[in-house]
């Protein structure tokens, strides 16, 4: 096999480094998801318990432990800090680039242009970039999916034993990363191997798949069994059944129609799905036929996308592990031909830049929010980048890198454009620090409505924050005359007297004493009805 060409990684890696730095500077850890997951890791750190996770003092079974272990591992090395959890996804994204290049080389050994195209596409698309710079699970899962796919290629081309050992490792750690959904990503491609790699001993192959699944299960059970014993019956049922079957078959959250993903694809796959050259290459597939690599990508991507479309619970980040398959498929097709300029994605980016510039000068309409002091320069820069991309697209050898830079810079400039508002509305540290001060004085602090532990890590809290519903409020006020209450109100409803307040996700988070809360009781009861949402809505 040809020498591993690390120079192909240079451009995509520079994009990843740039956007990681932009994310660290342009926005805080974002509630509800990022702050919740890091707070779970914080409670793991406090309790020194690496089997059962806790959120706000209660056992937390919504996610497996691997991401929380990694956060704690970094804190052991560097001390407890905000930045390490935000580097875990970029590091997995970097590993994903290496694994994707390895897979491309195995599918098309002598096609260096395909390898280059694939890396540019993977490293610059909106879906991949957003979650590569987020403190979430999905790029970690994508890395493990790629590891399993590479194992399957090793199994068919070199050593079945070695390949299926890698597959078992990917399955086991994939379950520890995000649950049995790893099987939905890996098994369809493995089962469809007779289509993309004919001529093998399939009885032996399917037996090896079963052994790999059992091996992966053994890795996952090494955590799950002790955790189930430690956590008790309810925790055991949740980790073995509730967070698997319920989410996959009849999800209690994120219910959306079958077609929901389809209209989002041009945005999620920006800028590539707006490139007419890629459309023409997809249209030519029927005429030109499929090689083994294209079959591999389709067997990886299509069954999983269809499955996710029919599962009731849908979120855009569920598609992240599929994106390397799209990048590989598109990279191969574009290596054959790249007819057509970059005018359409450049036009889309230019329109976004023009809108950014206009709203920076004229202000946002009231119905779009109350973001103040939007800078004008990101919109102007995006207009310049879009125009430059359209010009560079006339030269075939510069078209694909130019489009990749357009996608990356658009994401970076949009983040810089909204940075001031993001820090104002999503940085929960001021409220978290205020809560800590009252807890340190021995006062009880409660949150009206669902509490997603957004303040636990931000304030380095060592005590839970009580969660109150509508029916609990009056009783809690009577039992806690010195208690302090966190409520969320619209900016127009902000009370005249309070202990502390800050903007929070389009509303205002307000800290009230018992007496102040009693004065606002009728308003708070009405507000709590809207705040009492199912726990799974934010998971």
pLDDT in tens, 192-242: 999 998 877 778 999 999 999 999 999 999 999 999 999 888 888 888 776
Among 388, 405, 425, identify where a domain stops. 425
The bridge status of strand 500-504 relative to strand 507-513 is antiparallel
Q: Is residue 292 part of a domain?
A: yes
The bridge status of strand 484-489 relative to strand 58-59 is unpaired
Under the banding of pLDDT at 50, 70 and 90, the label for residue 113 is: very high
Among 336, 361, 385, identify where a domain stops. 336
- Asked whether the predicted pLDDT for residue 181 surpasses 50, the reply is yes
pLDDT of residue 460: 97
pLDDT of residue 365: 67
Q: Is residue 365 part of a domain?
A: yes
The vertex-34 CA angle with 29 and 39, nearest 5°, equals 100
Q: What's the rounded mean pLDDT across residues 348-361?
A: 94
Among 294, 313, 336, identify where a domain stops. 336
- Asked whether the predicted pLDDT for residue 530 surpasses 70, the reply is no
Under the banding of pLDDT at 50, 70 and 90, the label for residue 356 is: very high
Cα 311 off chain centre by: 19
Closest CA to 411 of 117, 87, 143, 15: 15
- Whether 318 and 431 map to the same domain: the answer is no
- Whether 135 and 281 map to the same domain: the answer is yes
Backbone angles phi, psi at 508, to 5 degrees: -125, 125
pLDDT of residue 317: 92
pLDDT of residue 383: 97
- Whether 256 and 120 map to the same domain: the answer is yes
Q: What percent of the chain has pLDDT over 90?
A: 72
Helix axes 377-392 and 396-417, enclosed angle (nearest 10) = 170
Q: Which of 113-122, 349-358, 402-411, 494-503 shows the lowest mean pLDDT across its residues?
A: 494-503
- Whether 359 and 451 map to the same domain: the answer is no
> pTM of this prediction?
0.92
- Asked whether the predicted pLDDT for residue 367 surpasses 60, the reply is no
- Whether 386 and 364 map to the same domain: the answer is yes
Q: CA-CA distance, 370 to 222, in Å (whole number)?
A: 50
Q: Quote the domain boundaries for residue 367.
A: 343-425
Across the chain, mean pLDDT equals 89
- Asked whether the predicted pLDDT for residue 469 surpasses 60, the reply is yes
Q: CA-CA distance, 131 to 140, in Å (whole number)?
A: 10
- Asked whether the predicted pLDDT for residue 531 surpasses 80, the reply is no
Q: Is residue 23 part of a domain?
A: no
pLDDT of residue 56: 96
- Whether 368 and 230 map to the same domain: the answer is no
Q: What's the rounded mean pLDDT across residues 419-424?
A: 92
Q: What percent of the chain has pLDDT over 70?
A: 92
Q: Based on the structure, what is the number of domains in the chain?
A: 3
Helix locations, 2-111, DSSP H? 10-26, 33-47, 66-78, 83-107
Q: CA-CA distance, 135 to 85, in Å (whole number)?
A: 6
Query: 3-state class of 61 per DSSP?
Result: coil
- Asked whether the predicted pLDDT for residue 464 surpasses 80, the reply is yes
pLDDT of residue 268: 93
- Asked whether the predicted pLDDT for residue 368 surpasses 60, the reply is no
- Whether 320 and 348 map to the same domain: the answer is no
- Whether 161 and 95 map to the same domain: the answer is yes
- Whether 469 and 482 map to the same domain: the answer is yes
- Whether 125 and 168 map to the same domain: the answer is yes
Q: Is residue 290 part of a domain?
A: yes
pLDDT of residue 243: 57
pLDDT of residue 249: 46
Q: Is residue 508 part of a domain?
A: yes
Q: CA-CA distance, 198 to 308, in Å (whole number)?
A: 27
Q: CA-CA distance, 461 to 537, in Å (whole number)?
A: 24
Specify the long-range contacts of residues 246-249, CB closer than 8 Å, at least 24 apart: 247/311, 247/313, 248/181, 248/184, 248/311, 248/313, 249/311, 249/312
Q: CA-CA distance, 405 to 408, in Å (whole number)?
A: 5
Specify the long-range contacts of residues 438-444, CB closer than 8 Å, at least 24 apart: 438/484, 438/499, 438/511, 439/463, 443/482, 443/483, 443/484, 444/480, 444/482, 444/483, 444/484
Under the banding of pLDDT at 50, 70 and 90, the label for residue 523 is: low
- Whether 155 and 298 map to the same domain: the answer is yes
Q: Is residue 52 part of a domain?
A: no
Q: Is residue 31 part of a domain?
A: no
Q: Is residue 13 part of a domain?
A: no
pLDDT of residue 537: 41
- Asked whether the predicted pLDDT for residue 397 surpasses 80, the reply is no
Under the banding of pLDDT at 50, 70 and 90, the label for residue 245 is: low
Under the banding of pLDDT at 50, 70 and 90, the label for residue 252 is: very low
Q: What's the rounded mean pLDDT across residues 445-473?
A: 93
- Whether 360 and 432 map to the same domain: the answer is no
């Amino acid at each position: 096999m040809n020498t591993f060409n690390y120079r192909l990684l240079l451009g995509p890696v520079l994009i990843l480094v740039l956007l990681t730095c932009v994310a660290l500077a342009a926005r805080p850890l974002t509630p509800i998801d990022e702050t919740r997951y890091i707070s779970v890791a914080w409670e793991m750190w406090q309790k020194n318990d690496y089997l059962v996770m806790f959120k706000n003092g209660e056992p937390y079974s919504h996610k497996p432990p691997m991401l929380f272990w990694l956060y704690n591992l970094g804190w052991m090395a560097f001390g407890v800090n905000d930045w390490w959890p935000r580097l875990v996804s970029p590091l997995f994204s970097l590993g994903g680039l290496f694994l994707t290049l390895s897979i491309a080389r195995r599918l098309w050994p002598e096609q260096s242009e395909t390898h280059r195209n694939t890396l540019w596409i993977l490293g610059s698309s909106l879906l991949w970039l957003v979650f590569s710079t987020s403190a979430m699970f999905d790029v970690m899962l994508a890395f493990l999916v790629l590891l399993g796919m590479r194992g399957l290629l090793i199994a068919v081309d070199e050593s079945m034993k070695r390949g299926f050992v890698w597959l078992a490792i990917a399955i086991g750690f994939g379950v520890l990363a995000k649950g049995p959904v790893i099987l939905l990503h890996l098994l369809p491609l493995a089962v469809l191997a007779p289509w993309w790699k004919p001529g093998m001993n399939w009885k032996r192959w399917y037996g090896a798949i079963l052994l790999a699944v059992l091996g992966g299960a053994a890795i996952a059970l090494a955590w799950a069994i002790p955790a189930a014993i430690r956590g008790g019956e309810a925790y055991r049922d949740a980790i073995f059944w509730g967070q698997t079957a319920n989410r996959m078959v009849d999800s209690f959250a994120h219910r959306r129609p079958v077609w929901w993903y389809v209209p989002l694809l041009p945005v999620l796959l920006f800028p590539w799905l707006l490139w007419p050259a890629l459309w023409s290459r997809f249209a030519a597939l029927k005429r030109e036929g499929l090689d083994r690599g294209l079959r591999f990508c389709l067997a990886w991507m299509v069954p999983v996308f269809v499955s996710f479309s029919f599962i009731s619970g849908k979120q855009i980040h569920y598609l992240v592990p599929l994106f390397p398959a799209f990048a590989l498929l598109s990279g191969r097709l574009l290596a054959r031909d790249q007819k057509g300029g970059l005018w359409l994605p450049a036009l889309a980016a230019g329109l976004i830049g023009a809108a950014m510039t206009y709203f920076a000068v004229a202000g946002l309409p009231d119905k779009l929010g109350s973001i103040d002091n939007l800078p004008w320069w990101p919109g102007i820069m995006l207009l310049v980048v879009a125009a430059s991309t359209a010009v560079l697209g006339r030269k075939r050898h510069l078209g694909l890198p130019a489009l990749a830079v357009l996608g990356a810079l658009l994401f970076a400039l949009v983040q810089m454009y909204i940075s001031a508002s993001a820090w104002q509305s999503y940085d929960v540290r001021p409220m978290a620090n205020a809560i800590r001060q009252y807890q340190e004085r021995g006062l009880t602090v409660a949150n009206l409505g669902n509490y997603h532990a957004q303040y636990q890590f931000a304030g380095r809290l060592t005590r839970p924050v009580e969660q109150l519903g509508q029916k609990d409020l009056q009783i809690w006020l009577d039992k806690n005359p010195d208690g302090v209450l966190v409520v969320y109100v619209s900016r127009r409803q902000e009370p005249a007297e309070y202990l502390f307040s800050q903007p929070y996700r389009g509303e205002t988070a307000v800290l009230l004493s018992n007496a102040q809360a009693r004065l606002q009781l009728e308003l708070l009861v009405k507000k709590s009805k809207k705040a009492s949402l199912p726990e799974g809505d934010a998971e």
